[in-house]
Amino acid sequence: MEPSTVTLGVIVGNRDFFPDQLVSEGRRDILQVLEEMQVQSVIVDEEMTKLGAVETWEDAKRCAALFKEHRDEIDGILVVLPNFGDEKAVADTIRLSGLRVPILVQAYPDAPDQLNVERRRDAYCGKISVCNNLYQYGFPFTLTEQHTVLPQDESFKRDLQKFVGVCRVVRGLRGARLGAVGARPNAFNTVRFSEKLLEASGISVSTIDLSEILGQAERLADDDPRVQARLESIHGYVPTPGVPEPRVVKMAKLGVVLDAWMDAYDLDATAIQCWSSLQRNYGVNVCTLMSMMSDRFMPSACEVDITGVASMYALQLASGQPSALVDWNNNYRNEPDKCVLFHCGNWAKSFFPAEITMSNAPILGTTLGVENTWGTVVGRVPAGPMSYARISTDDRHGQIKSYVGDGAFTDDPLDTFGSRAVVEVPGLQRLMHYVCKNGFEHHVAMTLGHTADILAEAFGTYLGWDVYHHP
């Protein structure tokens, strides 16, 4: 599902001996910025509390009741301090609301020539007090880059954009429903994971045996309207020159069954046993179907890599763009900060602005027969910004751990097949040491743009995971 609009519960703080006009201006400013950035808001009106702000215990109760009415809509809370504010009322509001969502704290700056009774704010100090109370109450929170900042400043708009991403990631992962199709390939101990550790963070895993999927697909008739519709969508998604049409029909049948299973269990993402049972028992690669799902914001990962697809889903939520699962696959020449990312061909076509095509998997074909590996998506990612992330369940230490970072796709020459890219990551050798020393998988998820700071905040501050943010 495409990332949805975020709704924030807004608390405008106040302390009554500061000028009323500062509160009215702050309320107006923040609502204008939220509207400009297409962020929905839930806020007490000016008839419900004095100036539509929160200062007293009664104000806290009224605001909390409003938030409770909209608890299913609210993704995060924004605290706005036009003046010092009442730190206890802010914390009480959040506690009474029962919400456990990300919290962003903003405070207005004072102008040096307006430190008079009419325009003085003292929000610089008030923010410290609000954060102290949030800490005492046990509420994790997010800070703006600048301690005090005007809502209209580009710095705050960047803070807000990042916070919106954090809210999407936290809400999405806390209720994520992932599907495991088949057993992991026996050779891939790498992708073992703990369902129980994921469940403790709100991530559920539904499973189905691959034989059930293949059995249902085999029973579908070629002329079934659902198969024909899926066949049409495949041909509309990727050119299939040289691909035997019966193989494409088999992919269409597989797609129908996978879609029905995902719908039945309301699944957000899947990890599929793509190697080697599908090729041996069904005669196709599932890459194109996985690419199509990822492109429709339903990420799909290879080799039943559930924590890999969780990483894809997190990146998708953070960036608002499709993600892909890749191998840290090859060094690039003798350039230590560059490497080749590769997979047989399951990346969303959003990564490939140039024309893509369907093909087979030459490497798998050497042992499984090339005729059984049709279905890969062949394309090269052009230069541009990228982010990468990996979530892993560490059973030895009973925790979920992760690493995140930003890099760049490059246009360096790369003569090979499949879905591929050359990427540059500053300090890549240090990152590879970290990955190896800490027992991470050979798979990593990637997306377009830079979103590592969003994931680091979401994973570490709100989900309580161990996170390494590669500098």
User: Taking a C-beta distance cutoff of 8 angstroms, is the pair 83, 14 a contact?
Assistant: yes
**CA dihedral sign of residues 378, 380, 384, 389:** positive
The structure tokens listed for 177 are 């429903």
Q: What is the pLDDT of residue 89?
A: 98
pLDDT at 144 over 70: yes
The structure tokens listed for 227 are 């198969």
Q: What is the pLDDT of residue 355?
A: 87
The stretch 264-271 carries a mean pLDDT of 98
Q: What is the pLDDT of residue 380?
A: 97
pLDDT digits (tens, 9 = 90+) for 41-94: 999 999 999 999 999 999 999 999 999 999 999 999 999 999 999 999 999 999
Q: How far apart are CA 431 and CA 454, in angstroms?
A: 19
Strand-pairing partners, residue 324, are 446
Q: What is the pLDDT of residue 275?
A: 87
Q: What is the pLDDT of residue 454?
A: 98
User: Taking a C-beta distance cutoff of 8 angstroms, is the pair 127, 147 a contact?
Assistant: yes
Helix/strand/coil (H/E/C) assignment for every residue in the chain: CCCCCCEEEEEEECCCCCCHHHHHHHHHHHHHHHHHCCCEEECCCCCCCHHHCECCHHHHHHHHHHHHHCCCCCCEEEEEECCCCCHHHHHHHHHHHCCCCCEEEEECCCCHHHCCCCCCCCHHHHHHHHHHHHHHHCCCCEECCCCCCCCCCHHHHHHHHHHHHHHHHHHHHHCCEEEEECCCCCCCHHHCCCHHHHHHCCCEEEEECHHHHHHHHHCCCCCCHHHHHHHHHHHHHCCCCCCCHHHHHHHHHHHHHHHHHHHHHCCCEEEECCCCHHHHHCCCCCHHHHHHHHHCCCCEECCCCHHHHHHHHHHHHHHCCCEEEEEEEEECCCCCCEEEEEECCCCCHHHCCCCCEEECCHHHHHHHCHHHCCCEEEEECCCEEEEEEEEEEECCCCEEEEEEEEEEEECCCCCCCCEEEEEECCCHHHHHHHHHHCCCCCEEEEEECCCHHHHHHHHHHHCCCEEEECC
| Segment among 113-122, 141-150, 234-243 with least mean pLDDT | 113-122
Cα-based angle 361, 366, 372 (whole degrees, multiple of 5): 55
Q: What is the pLDDT of residue 217?
A: 98
The structure tokens listed for 242 are 């040289």
Q: How far apart are CA 253 and CA 459, in angstroms?
A: 38
The structural domains of the chain, ordered by start, are: 7-174 (3.40.50.10940), 177-469 (3.40.275.10)
User: Taking a C-beta distance cutoff of 8 angstroms, is the pair 317, 169 a contact?
Assistant: yes
| pLDDT band at residue 116 using 50, 70 and 90 as cut-offs | confident
pLDDT at 312 over 90: yes
pTM: 0.97
User: Taking a C-beta distance cutoff of 8 angstroms, is the pair 53, 23 a contact?
Assistant: yes
Strand-pairing partners, residue 19, are none
Amino acid at 116: N
Q: What is the pLDDT of residue 17?
A: 85
φ, ψ (nearest 5 deg) of residue 144: -75, 160
Average pLDDT value over all residues in the chain: 97
The stretch 152-170 carries a mean pLDDT of 98
Strand-pairing partners, residue 421, are 341
CA 238 remoteness from chain centre = 26
Which pairing describes strands 466-469 and 40-42: parallel, antiparallel, or unpaired?
Answer: unpaired
pLDDT digits (tens, 9 = 90+) for 184-228: 999 999 999 999 999 999 999 999 999 999 999 999 999 999 999
The structure tokens listed for 364 are 């798998």
Return the closest-CA partner of residue 449 out of 406, 412, 411. Answer: 406
pLDDT at 384 over 80: yes
The stretch 222-246 carries a mean pLDDT of 98
The structure tokens listed for 200 are 């403790």
pLDDT at 167 over 80: yes
Which pairing describes strands 40-42 and 204-208: parallel, antiparallel, or unpaired?
Answer: unpaired
The structure tokens listed for 164 are 């919106």
The structure tokens listed for 61 are 């109760």
The stretch 454-463 carries a mean pLDDT of 98
Q: How far apart are CA 324 and CA 168, in angstroms?
A: 18
Angle between helices 87-97 and 57-69 (to 10 degrees): 30
Q: What is the pLDDT of residue 1?
A: 62
The structure tokens listed for 309 are 């697809």
